Amino acid sequence: MKLAKILTIGCILCGLNAQAEGTKSPVAMTLDTTINQAANSLEEQFEANYGGRIEEVRLLSPTLSLHDWKYQDTRTKKGFVIGSADDAKLKEHIQHLKVSVGVPDVFAPFNAKMAKAIQGTDADRNDLMLRLVALQILREVSNPENNWSEYQQINISNSQLQHYARLTRNIEFANLLSIEIAHKLNSTYKNQMDFMKDFVAAFVEIPKDRLTKIASEANKTVAAQLQEGLTVKISSDDAESWSFGNSHYQVKEDGSSTLLKDKVPVYGGGYIGGKYYALKIDTLVVLK
């Protein structure tokens, strides 16, 4: 299965345009790079105003639970698991934070969401966290320095397998989200700031239930792709047991594996030691 990079400028936008002597000339910049810059700017804005960053997040399909967010204060290095017993500590922490003033108008819609989240309501915070997850996925997938070709292989180790599935779903999620955003953008832009302003507005306006649906669609698409023909061989140098999602396997002397624990739906399968075993895909993304 070939991993498709996030849609480029030729697929969605005609591109950014520069004004030179009264004429417009195309700038050699893909949508990958542009979205990467936009996502970075928004995350920097969040960290500057909030005093923290999202350390690790898990998107579960079809339900996105508040219990799956982890937040870290960048100054104290203390972490909070939002939705857990530490939730009260996080609420107390963010009540003392203020949204910065004097920031460019381009960030106004995003800062308005942060201001609502600082009020401490679960719904508002969950909405903001979900958008930050989406930004992280966009930033990871659209980073022009990343090269996913090493994961376009069949015989991969257990650790590579988990990363492969995560990347596949991230890429599909980013593709769908890019299309959603692109529908609200113009075909040409004279400068980066104009693009950023429209990008931020379009991103913030996407309804939360639509983001959730996109995550679910990404999971279903990748699950179908895996079922259609991905054959995975776990390398023989793996440990005596290995796990994928909530499924745990014991490796026998002959190289085959026995399923020890299974709690999630089957979304694909692979051959291990010449024997077929079900693989699980229960998590859309785990980012740090």
> Could you give the CA distance from residue 263 to residue 286 in angstroms, rounded to a whole number?
19
> Could you give the CA distance from residue 175 to residue 21 in angstroms, rounded to a whole number?
36
Helix (H, G, I), strand (E, B) or coil at 182: helix
Is residue 152 a contact partner of residue 90, using CB atoms and an 8 Å limit?
Answer: no
Sign of CA dihedral 157, 228, 149, 132: negative
**pLDDT (0 to 100) of residue 212:** 77
Is residue 82 a contact partner of residue 129, using CB atoms and an 8 Å limit?
Answer: yes
List all residues 6 or more positions away from 202 whose beta carbon is below 8 Å from its beta carbon. 181, 184, 185
The backbone torsions φ and ψ at residue 8, rounded to the nearest 5 degrees and listed phi first, read: -90, 180
| 212 alpha-carbon distance from chain centroid | 12
In degrees, rounded to 5, the angle at the alpha carbon of residue 78 between the alpha carbons of residues 72 and 79 is: 45
Write out pLDDT tens, residues 43-93.
777 666 665 555 444 433 333 333 344 555 555 656 555 444 455 555 555
**In the structure encoding, which two tokens stand for residue 128, read together?**
């903001």
**pLDDT (0 to 100) of residue 198:** 83
The confidence band for 279, taking pLDDT boundaries of 50, 70 and 90, is very low
Domain boundaries, the chain: 15-226, 231-287
**In the structure encoding, which two tokens stand for residue 273, read together?**
């030691």
Is residue 71 a contact partner of residue 90, using CB atoms and an 8 Å limit?
Answer: yes
Write out pLDDT tens, residues 103-154.
557 777 777 777 776 666 667 766 776 777 777 777 766 665 655 444 443 3
* 3-state SS string for 69-138: EEEEECCCCCEEEECCCCHHHHHHHHCCCCCCCCCCHHHHHHHHHHHHHHCCCHHHHHHHHHHHHHHHHH
* Exposed/middle/buried for residue 34 (C-beta within 10 Å: 0-12, 13-18, 19+): buried
pLDDT at 202 over 80: yes
Helix (H, G, I), strand (E, B) or coil at 166: helix
Torsion region of 157: left, alpha or beta (phi above 0 gives left; psi -120 to 50 gives alpha): beta
**pLDDT (0 to 100) of residue 200:** 83
Is residue 233 a contact partner of residue 164, using CB atoms and an 8 Å limit?
Answer: no
**Average pLDDT in the chain:** 55
Is residue 6 a contact partner of residue 175, using CB atoms and an 8 Å limit?
Answer: yes
Is residue 34 a contact partner of residue 207, using CB atoms and an 8 Å limit?
Answer: no
Please tell me the pTM assigned to this model.
Answer: 0.53
**In the structure encoding, which two tokens stand for residue 60, read together?**
């579960």
Write out pLDDT tens, residues 142-193.
665 655 444 443 344 444 455 555 666 777 777 888 888 877 877 677 766 7
| Measured CA distances, 157 to 72, 80, 189, 243, 245 (Å) | 31, 32, 44, 12, 15
